[in-house]
Amino acid sequence: MAKVPGGLWQNLIAVQVYGANTGVGKTVVSTLLGHHFARRKGNTRWLVRYIKPVSTGPSDEADEKYVRRYTNQPVATLFKYDQPVSPHLAVRGVKFIPTDAVIVQKLHAKLKADARACAMSKGEMGISLVETAGGVLSPGPSGTPQADIFRPMRMPVILVGDHRLGGIASTISASESLLIRGYDLDAVVCFDDGGKHENSKYLKSHFQSNGIPCFELPWIPDLQNLSMDAEIGKMMTYYDETSSDRSTYKLAGRLIDSHVARLRNLNSMSSRTKNVIWHPFTQHKSVEKPDDILTFDSAYGDYFQVKHTARSKQGVVMKNEESLLFPAFDASASWWTQGLGHGNPELSLAAAYAAGRYGHVMFGGATHEPALTLAERLLKAMKNPRLAKAFYTDDGSTAVEVGIKMALRASCKRYAWNGSAEDVGIIGLKGSYHGDTIGAMDASEPCVYNKNVDWYRGRGYWFDFPTIKMSKGRWFVEPPPGMGEDFGPTEYFEDLDRVFNLEERGHSPRYEAYIESVLDSLVTEKGRKFGALVMEPVILGAGGMIFVDPLFQQSLVRVVRRYKFVANSSTPEDADSWTGLPVVFDEVFTGLYRLGRFSAASFLQVHPDISVHAKLLTGGLLPLSVTLASESIFQAFWGDEKSDALLHGHSYTAHPIGCHVANTSLTQMQIISRGDLWKGYQKAWREPATTDAEELHFTMRGEEKGIWSMWSKKTTTKLSEHPLVDHVVAIGSVLKVSLRDKSGSGYSSTAAAGLRDALLNDVTEHATRVHCRVLGNVLYLMASMNSKDLNLVEITLLQQLSKL
Amino acid sequence: MAKVPGGLWQNLIAVQVYGANTGVGKTVVSTLLGHHFARRKGNTRWLVRYIKPVSTGPSDEADEKYVRRYTNQPVATLFKYDQPVSPHLAVRGVKFIPTDAVIVQKLHAKLKADARACAMSKGEMGISLVETAGGVLSPGPSGTPQADIFRPMRMPVILVGDHRLGGIASTISASESLLIRGYDLDAVVCFDDGGKHENSKYLKSHFQSNGIPCFELPWIPDLQNLSMDAEIGKMMTYYDETSSDRSTYKLAGRLIDSHVARLRNLNSMSSRTKNVIWHPFTQHKSVEKPDDILTFDSAYGDYFQVKHTARSKQGVVMKNEESLLFPAFDASASWWTQGLGHGNPELSLAAAYAAGRYGHVMFGGATHEPALTLAERLLKAMKNPRLAKAFYTDDGSTAVEVGIKMALRASCKRYAWNGSAEDVGIIGLKGSYHGDTIGAMDASEPCVYNKNVDWYRGRGYWFDFPTIKMSKGRWFVEPPPGMGEDFGPTEYFEDLDRVFNLEERGHSPRYEAYIESVLDSLVTEKGRKFGALVMEPVILGAGGMIFVDPLFQQSLVRVVRRYKFVANSSTPEDADSWTGLPVVFDEVFTGLYRLGRFSAASFLQVHPDISVHAKLLTGGLLPLSVTLASESIFQAFWGDEKSDALLHGHSYTAHPIGCHVANTSLTQMQIISRGDLWKGYQKAWREPATTDAEELHFTMRGEEKGIWSMWSKKTTTKLSEHPLVDHVVAIGSVLKVSLRDKSGSGYSSTAAAGLRDALLNDVTEHATRVHCRVLGNVLYLMASMNSKDLNLVEITLLQQLSKL
């Protein structure tokens, strides 16, 4: 997960040479290409460099020595170990074992120097041949497969095929391991074995049908029983002859063509995008400049690889020594989806496994392992005894629609309302947002999102509520403006944990009285009908990252559940049955560990009747959503008629890829949630632990160790003290920074946009560039649940804020 | 794509032994396991069988001979070739080269015989060790990689790791090639090389973190310079000792445990599903029997692998010689999604590549290669000069909502309507269905689907229309019941091509007059407002596979585009701008080759302003949808305010995996659309070609070679003549069979269900079991666009129909 720029330069072709196995001729191919480019005919003079990142074995047998001998060009080895074994064994007993990040950063520095050399000699092009060790997945010093170590730079690959018996299989398998890690194969190279195994013939046909050219090179001479001098002479002749061979010209030409095509494509993407793409949530009139669209070449771990724009280059010396790509920390977690980082090889393999086992199989009247297992695991992990059934859809919006359909049917059926003819609305909170389809939109109050949606009809009532904030280092719960009378004055708390300590805070007579009085006015006086309580627990996301007082949400549920929405209606006998109205929690954003807990409902100590999940469900890989419901909700659709059923179901409902990836992600997340990384965060937020009783209190809660965040307590407090900051909140992986804005707040505000742009285009040396999103005057930050670079983001944020 | 049962028996463990490379000891592991099970201590006696599906090289060196020598158990080789080279080379000059299907069917027959042998000896268990050749992807006789050849049976795998230098990489790569093909790895086996490369140590840790146990076996003795007899003696000792070794017991135990767990899981799945799954479109009260839920173990090509149910077993001799799984042809194309068959390795690899390169990257203000390329390709391939922009969402329903939002905004803006306050509806066809979210539902007339959806408000007017049918071998266009006066009498046509020859049929004054009179009554007389024409071209899918007269749909577009929906409104000057109302085509089901053409709009020769696509977009792998729109629609959202924009966008909008898979699928589909398979279908439907002029007529049309179907003309005609069949229609991959039903038609009818069940549970020997869906009294069939087994489905259908 190293923060390193992608391996793409204007005038330098940086290419990795991988082997289908050990002993297939990687060094010969590297040497041949080095020899060729150093002597290549044409107008361009080529600077040739050879790099061996990790080498094992005695120095006099080193690959770099061999390559220098035949190419007479500069060579470099970055990490050398004497023992002639795999790097992960060779480092035993060695004092300094480089991490994966150190290896890739050193490699990048070396290539940057190569690019600088090209830039200094005007008009020249360079090629740097990076020769890997062993096979594609041979372990590096840390034990990580080297294809994973080098992945952040994602340089194009030459794969040297295996000419031996069995080489067809090993070459294709090696290529598959590269492809599932997101590498582009520029070429497969095979030595012509004179018709013995005919591997190259088969491989040519195989790879060409996959759009990857395969090149056959002349057989390496037989060197058995030759003296050292004779061997060198023979090989010198081989390289001299082969280097000017037609096949070598074609291979080298392919590398050049690929490079040129890659640059041309990258440079044209933002303008081509403007031509054909209608962007989500975008006023296109305001994104007219070429820099307004970022081009993502790839992503890995926490980082996007972004094409440099004119703006992002400002102040950076860009004399072609810089990579054309820069890493930007994905601090919106790609619209709140990321759980395990981009390009996660385990999720990638899980997706491919399910695709290979099933493709997609229809779910009507059928079942399959991934969907069944996921339903069982989710229902168990929710620890909500009410939830009994899982209904799959494709995204948060569709899952919310299902939740609303479920709740409305249940209440209309029990209260004998005709929902199709009568206005039956929902009860919610002001500023809520549940998705973009009409039904989900109708569950939110009128706002900028639905202002010009012609079929939008807000159906319900949305409550005011008190919010959680931290300002000047102090936590408090603030009533809505001008409503202190109803909600009570601003309450201050020693720490965030006390805000969420609902036992300690007790029931709130004031909250309950307010809620009851509003309901009385709506239901009794105005005769309005309501069919569900629909709420995002803890945070209203798209509404502006508004943190709601959990005691208010808990009070709302308590009142709604005991309230008589229909006079004289009887309460069901079954204890798990819903009362008052079905309670729907939209945990699309806040659930599945986003706030550090499996379910955000646990913060409120409420068991909803319906719970909606999406986003993090697949660890951030692809769309899948699920609506969990209680047995009493399920029973509302039980009947003799087909039309009594929930007649909903998208074609890809419960698609095996999504479900299997979700299962894989859940396993990973559960490991992370119990791991040292999170324990560190939790401990840091508890300090200073005031009393033993308090420590015990955290321990007693088991996995829910109070309230904590992946963002440091120190930075959060510091931010809250900044004069430009109105308030902050941090829970789990979410950090909200609300800026003071004289021009008014809300979605249509443009405050915070300046800070957002400054974070992305920070040109301080070694600065971490941060890609984030704003909602009006709110800048929020969020990362994968296994991110280790949050401190880097915090430094950038504090620095840029100090410049405002 | 062989029709073969999955490789899973009650009392027989059928396991495949793959090697990470050639020469890693597959035969030794097979021998060892054979030796062990034949002598295994315990209450169970084991029947041991060894099978080499394809063997090359001299008979006296054959693996089967070796295994028999040391195990003294029956062995078999299915296909033998003398030359000691790869099977795809060894078959050169050989007269009979077995196809992949023949190999896998012969293997299944052999394993079935093994299972029979177990069943005959009561109380015994069997293990059949199927040893593959070379590496995982070594080519079989046909040239297909063997892991693809054996994939339809999907037997569990023992992967023998490579103990040599480089073996870590090749073993992991080999495992990845197996996993992306959907195989389950029961065990990885490695020989203990005494600490030389320590591969097994590394592999153990690697695979255990992936949930795959790795076993270390004692090193194979050094046999160099030994006489044949000495060698045999030494190996005999090795097998004797190692076979009763702890490590071998553990490996064998794992195979047994996996088998037992697999059976237990499979047997419990339908009841566990009943506990936790809320199925789509399902009245759960009517699926109370255990057999009502089918368990899909996997799928490949055209076939699901389905767990036998009590019903599916009726009449089949099931004395444990039959596999527990049976292949069922997926004849609903898994709810209309499949384009390239299940478990397609190219799509699987494409999904993994994009997952590896990006994971998911957010699309707001950004771009990436797969989304951009897909938009460009779709816009080009549509051949609709109006379409300019692509907007991505997740499924057909969300894409339709976007299309409706787009169209309504454009018309409300131009006609200065306040859509939020006034009732602005859509114009559509009776029986249309556009999706399950509230907005998409509102665009359909009241029907069984939305009857009990409380927030459903049908917003629009839905026209009656004439339909296409074939009955008693004759094609005709039939007016709606009792409306012959408006639409004209039933028209008969020589062939389907003439129904769709709209030039020849000319404009229909009768259709246009009818449409105008209805619009006059709605708009002029009643003052109703309409904002869009929303229509599924050619077929109304969920509404009952209703085939609409294309001339009527064309007439409707023509009239709507010239009609004055607001008096004195001016017509825009730009020729590509929409007039009358924006025309939205919902091609979610009918587009992207489903009817044999890229776009279903081409059948109507109409260029819609908005075109909606999903389902086949990813070739049938995972959810992705796109709404294509014209520049004049796009301009309706251009403005100074954020709220003027289309504020829609799901988190996974334009997810790279979906887009890249879609690009891969489009390429494959384009190849298929020009290939011999489709040419054959097209030719068959043209025969007998009556005149040269007619032939010319087809040729002139270029790729749109008249109307044709993947279902044979002969069978279609035959079906139409059956007394129980009301009518049929076949276009592209869709075959509709409407049955006569005395109990009334419509979705709530239960006719055709009997035929559906009979097709799935056909127990005739060699019968093709067919899984299909019904809509009321309509049974429809549909397959992937590369299916080659449609004739098998036709045979089953005709046979079962004859039994009714």
**Which CATH number characterizes residue A321's domain?**
3.90.1150.10
Task: Supply φ then ψ for residue A469, to 5 degrees.
Answer: -150, 160
> Do residue A764 and residue A733 come from a single domain?
yes
Structural domain contains residue B285 = no
The whole domain housing A723 covers: 272-331+709-804
Q: What is the pLDDT of residue A54?
A: 97
Residue where a domain stops, chosen among B608, B633, B667: B667
The model's confidence at residue B747, banded by pLDDT at 50, 70 and 90, is: very low
> Do residue B663 and residue B730 come from a single domain?
no
CA of A742: how far to CAs of A228, A281, A286, A718, in Å?
A: 80, 25, 22, 22
> Do residue A51 and residue A181 come from a single domain?
yes
pLDDT at residue A106 greater than cutoff 70: yes
Tell me which residue of B691, B673, B692 sits closest to B681, measured CA to CA: B673
Which of B1, B83, B180, B449 to mutate to probe the A interface, most A CBs <10 Å?
B180
pLDDT at residue A704 greater than cutoff 60: no
Q: HEC states along A381-440?
A: HCCCCCEEEEEEECCHHHHHHHHHHHHHHHHHHHCCCCCCCCCEEEEEECCCCCCCCHHH
Residue where a domain stops, chosen among A240, A264, A288: A264
| Opening angle at CA B275, ends B274 and B279, nearest 5 | 50
- Percent of chain A scoring above 70 in pLDDT: 96
3-state class of B138 per DSSP?
coil
> Do residue A103 and residue A56 come from a single domain?
yes
Structural domain contains residue B227 = yes
> Given 3-state DSSP classes, what are the helix, strand and coil percentages for chain A, each rounded to the nearest 5?
40, 20, 40
Which residues on neighbouring strands pair with residue B629, listed in sequence order?
B389, B610
The CATH code of the domain that includes B360 is: 3.40.640.10
Residue type, A750: T
Q: In total, how many domains does chain B have?
A: 3
Task: Supply φ then ψ for residue A672, to 5 degrees.
Answer: -60, -40
Q: What is the pLDDT of residue A92?
A: 92
pLDDT at residue B307 greater than cutoff 70: yes
> Do residue A323 and residue A377 come from a single domain?
no
> Do residue B221 and residue B362 come from a single domain?
no
> Do residue A208 and residue A63 come from a single domain?
yes
> Do residue A199 and residue A314 come from a single domain?
no
- Percent of chain B scoring above 90 in pLDDT: 86
pLDDT at residue A677 greater than cutoff 80: yes
What residues of B are in contact with residue A182 (Cβ under 8 Å)? Answer: 353-358
Q: What is the pLDDT of residue A747?
A: 45
Which residues on neighbouring strands pair with residue A216, listed in sequence order?
A190
pLDDT at residue A691 greater than cutoff 80: no
Structural domain contains residue A213 = yes
Answer for the pair B468, B433: CB distance below 8 angstroms, yes or no.
Answer: no
Structural domain contains residue B634 = yes
pLDDT digits (tens, 9 = 90+) for A53-99: 999 998 878 899 999 999 999 999 999 999 999 999 999 989 999 99
Alpha carbon distance A132, A174 (integer Å): 13
Residue A590 touches chain B, beta carbons under 8 Å: no
> Do residue A197 and residue A53 come from a single domain?
yes
Answer for the pair A132, A150: CB distance below 8 angstroms, yes or no.
Answer: yes
Alpha carbon distance A32, A242 (integer Å): 7
pLDDT at residue A748 greater than cutoff 60: no
pLDDT at residue B768 greater than cutoff 60: yes
What residues of B are in contact with residue A640 (Cβ under 8 Å)? Answer: 285
Write the CB contacts of B680 (distance below 8 Å, at least 6 apart in sequence).
Answer: none
Residue B421 touches chain A, beta carbons under 8 Å: no
Cross-chain Cβ contact B623/A652 below 8 Å: yes
Tell me which residue of A478, A448, A546, A469 sits closest to A778, measured CA to CA: A546
> Do residue A243 and residue A287 come from a single domain?
no
Residue B587 touches chain A, beta carbons under 8 Å: no
What residues of A are in contact with residue B135 (Cβ under 8 Å)? Answer: 166, 168-170, 173
Structural domain contains residue B699 = no
Structural domain contains residue A611 = no
Residue A420 touches chain B, beta carbons under 8 Å: yes
What residues of B are in contact with residue A174 (Cβ under 8 Å)? Answer: 169-170, 173
pLDDT at residue A750 greater than cutoff 80: no
pLDDT digits (tens, 9 = 90+) for B685-725: 987 655 566 555 555 554 455 899 999 999 999 999 999 99
Which of A54, A142, A278, A296 to mutate to probe the B interface, most B CBs <10 Å?
A278
Structural domain contains residue A463 = no
Q: HEC states along A151-217?
A: HHHCCCEEEECCCCCCHHHHHHHHHHHHHCCCCCEEEEEEECCCCCCCHHHHHHHHHHCCCCCEEEE
Structural domain contains residue A429 = no
pLDDT digits (tens, 9 = 90+) for A506-549: 999 999 999 999 999 999 999 999 999 999 999 999 999 999 99
CA of B75: how far to CAs of A148, B11, B30, B83, in Å?
A: 43, 19, 11, 21
CA-nearest residue to B645 within chain A is: A283
What the block records as the tokens of B109 is 């027959």
Write the CB contacts of B81 (distance below 8 Å, at least 6 apart in sequence).
Answer: B54, B55, B56, B57, B87, B90, B91, B94, B141
Alpha carbon distance B11, B40 (integer Å): 16
Sheet containing strand A387-393, strands side by side: A387-393, A625-630, A610-613, A583-586, A529-535, A424-429, A460-463
> Do residue A250 and residue A278 come from a single domain?
no
Residue where a domain stops, chosen among B264, B292, B322: B264
CA-nearest residue to B394 within chain A is: A394
> Do residue A21 and residue A106 come from a single domain?
yes
Q: What is the mean pLDDT of residues A333-356?
A: 97
Q: What is the pLDDT of residue B210?
A: 87
Alpha carbon distance B608, B397 (integer Å): 18
What residues of B are in contact with residue A294 (Cβ under 8 Å)? Answer: 365-367
Residue A293 touches chain B, beta carbons under 8 Å: yes
Label residue B654 left, alpha or beta by phi (over 0 means left) and psi (-120 to 50 means alpha): left
The CATH code of the domain that includes A208 is: 3.40.50.300
